Amino acid sequence: MEEAMLRAAAVRTLLPAFQAAVASPVAGFSLVRSYPEHADTKQQKKRTVCVLDSSVRPSTRLQRRTCTSPCAPCAAPQPPPTRKPTANADKKAAPAAPEQRVAMMCLLAQEIRDQYATSGGGGVHVDVGVTTSARFVDKSDDLRTRGYNGHVLWIVGFDTLVRLLDVKYYPPAHTLAPVTNTLLAGDSRILAFARPDDGFGSASAQQAYCEAIDPAIAGKLDVLDADEATAGVSSSAVRKAVAAGEDGWRAAVCPAIAAFVDAEALYQT
């Protein structure tokens, strides 16, 4: 617990820098923090990139489990950038300031790094950045512009998967060609974590949705079911529990994020 508090305190000192990065973002994707700080970026860009688009707030153990799942080739290990969008296709900001959300993603990045180290997976490089792009297809272009030209694994929640495959976001033709031609180009894939009974349908309904997906996309999609430790875990549930003065939410996030939420008095109302 002491280490968690120290990490939370350390990342709080970076809030002004995060605020500046979010207030004046570079067009496309800009790097905010790396773990470890000094890494061979050129070499990392040649490896598989696992992207957790973490506009969720706060990040939970569900995101950590998905990033470290055997389903993710980043378990090899590989480098998973954690990205926080400064714009989102259809979501409004939650009661945490953008810089606070970036800080919590940095704490999640450290947790992912530690998980690989303790599981014998070796070292892993995690980048945290912000992007001005709202759509995933544009974020994919951002990555390739920065030189990430290898295998990309996009890690998303089931709700995000549904929005990602909604043709209304792809005018004027309103087809999923932008997804297959950019996001899933080459051997890139999508890893989605199922969220049954969380406002997105039952497990059978989510399975039926996946079975109805275009085969060209379904062949590049893996769905990870929650385990006992992450069943029912969601960022919205955490926020509601904090606002209600309950303590059970702490088990849903890593200790350092819990310490940060306390220190910043987040989600109190």
pTM of the model: 0.82
Taking residues 120-139, what's their average pLDDT? 80
* Segment 78-96, tens digit of pLDDT: 444 555 555 555 555 557 8
What does the block give as tokens for 258?
Answer: 């819990």
Taking CA atoms, 85 is separated from 10, 17, 48, 115, 119, in Å, by 23, 16, 21, 25, 30
In terms of pLDDT, which residue wins out, 88 or 240?
240
Mean of per-residue pLDDT scores for the chain: 81
Decide if pLDDT at 101 tops 80. Answer: yes
Percent of the chain with pLDDT over 90: 32
Taking residues 149-153, what's their average pLDDT? 79
At 137, the pLDDT band (50, 70, 90 cuts) reads very high
At 228, the pLDDT band (50, 70, 90 cuts) reads low
What does the block give as tokens for 102?
Answer: 């970036």
- Diameter over CA atoms, the chain: 54
In terms of pLDDT, which residue wins out, 75 or 138?
138
Residue for token pair 């900001």: 93
Going along the chain from its start, the domains and CATH numbers come out as 2-264 (3.40.50.620)
pLDDT given for residue 7 in this prediction: 95
Phi, psi of 128 (to 5 degrees): -120, 130
In terms of pLDDT, which residue wins out, 174 or 238?
174
Decide if pLDDT at 122 tops 70. Answer: no
Helices 255-264 and 98-118: crossing angle in degrees, nearest 10, is 160
Q: Using an 8 Å Cβ cutoff, are 1 and 257 in contact?
A: no
Strands 29-35 and 126-131: antiparallel
